[in-house]
Amino acid sequence: EAQVTQNPRYLITVTGKKLTVTCSQNMNHEYMSWYRQDPGLGLRQIYYSMNVEVTDKGDVPEGYKVSRKEKRNFPLILESPSPNQTSLYFCASKMGQTHSGANVLTFGAGSRLTVL
Amino acid sequence: AQKVTQAQTEISVVEKEDVTLDCVYETRDTTYYLFWYKQPPSGELVFLIRRNSFDEQNEISGRYSWNFQKSTSSFNFTITASQVVDSAVYFCALSDIRQGAQKLVFGQGTRLTINP
């Protein structure tokens, strides 16, 4: 089944404890992206990647890191989480390059992160 | 800069009523795509429709219909004869068509509650 898989789905952590949210897709998509969803703000892009070893900042990149060493994986790293990073996180992927603006994003199931 | 506004934060109707969700967008691009996604209580994001800026024909899919009006920069979504299963948060989103388009810009979302 074609899908985007995120782990963990739920996580409660404490301020300053590094964590990684993994994201993997099995559709051979070039483009991958991370969004965070907060009440009243919709979804905002954190980082995106056009292809392996190509990443760039979205609208709200502060406090996050990403890497794209393999096409299928795009982990989100919080080096020193803070309470304002408590949110619902979504990883997404789509075919890139040609007609990429038209291509539909496939989303993971979401990861709910709470930072105490 | 691109922007999507969903002015209705929450809507509550009784089952079988018709309901329209508003979406207004801003973009300097002459070519772009508009999307609607549904987020049911389970949390995943489900793609509903994509519409390109060249095609202003309304679209109907069962009880769902979409009205795209370029003159007013609106892409409204109507559910006819609503059902309890339609209860969800609905997001409107905008993407440009250029190659390598980097992100989908989302509105704030409208929480729709259908009461039995």
* Integer Cα distance of B57 and B51 in angstroms: 9
Q: Which of A59, A96, A104 sits opposite B50 (nearest CB)?
A: A104
Chain B residues in contact with A44 by the CB 8 A cut-off are 106
Quickly count: other Cβ atoms within 10 Å of residue B72's Cβ: 10
Rounded Cα–Cα distance for residues B116 and B22 (Å)? 23
Measured between beta carbons, which residues in chain A are less than 8 angstroms from residue B108?
40-42
Residues 5-64 of B with CB under 8 A from A: 6, 9, 32-33, 35, 43-45, 47, 50, 52
Q: For residues B33 and B54, what is the distance between their CA atoms, to the nearest angstrom?
A: 9
Closest to B108 (Cβ–Cβ): which among A42, A99, A104? A42
**pLDDT of the residue at B26:** 94
Residue B97: band (very low, low, confident or very high) from pLDDT cuts 50, 70, 90? low
* A9–chain B nearest CA distance, Å: 11
Handedness of CA A45, A76, A108, A11 (dihedral sign): negative
Q: pLDDT for B10-39, tens place per residue?
A: 999 999 999 999 999 999 888 888 999 999
3-state helix, strand, coil in chain B (%, to 5): 5, 55, 40
Q: Among all residues of chain A, which has the CA nearest to that of B40?
A: A109
Compute the average pLDDT of residues B71-88: 96
Strands (E), A39-105: 42-51, 54-57, 65-66, 76-78, 87-94
Q: Are the beta carbons of A42 and B91 separated by less than 8 Å?
A: yes
Angstrom distance (rounded) from CA A67 to CA A77: 9
CB contact under 8 A, A99 and B97: yes
Identify which of A90, A78, A103 has the alpha carbon closest to the alpha carbon of residue A48: A90
Size of interface A-B (CB pairs under 8 A): 63
B88-96/A19-25 β-pairing:
unpaired
Closest to A40 (Cβ–Cβ): which among B33, B103, B108? Answer: B108
pLDDT tens digits for A17-75? 999 999 999 999 999 999 999 998 999 999 999 889 999 998 899 999 999 999 999 99
In chain B, the residue whose alpha carbon lies closest to the alpha carbon of A48 is: B102
SS3 A68: coil
Kindly identify which residue of chain B lies nearest to residue A33, measuring between CA atoms. B103
Look up residue B112 and give its two tokens: 């729709």
State the average pLDDT over residues B70-86. Answer: 96
Residue A111: per-residue pLDDT: 97
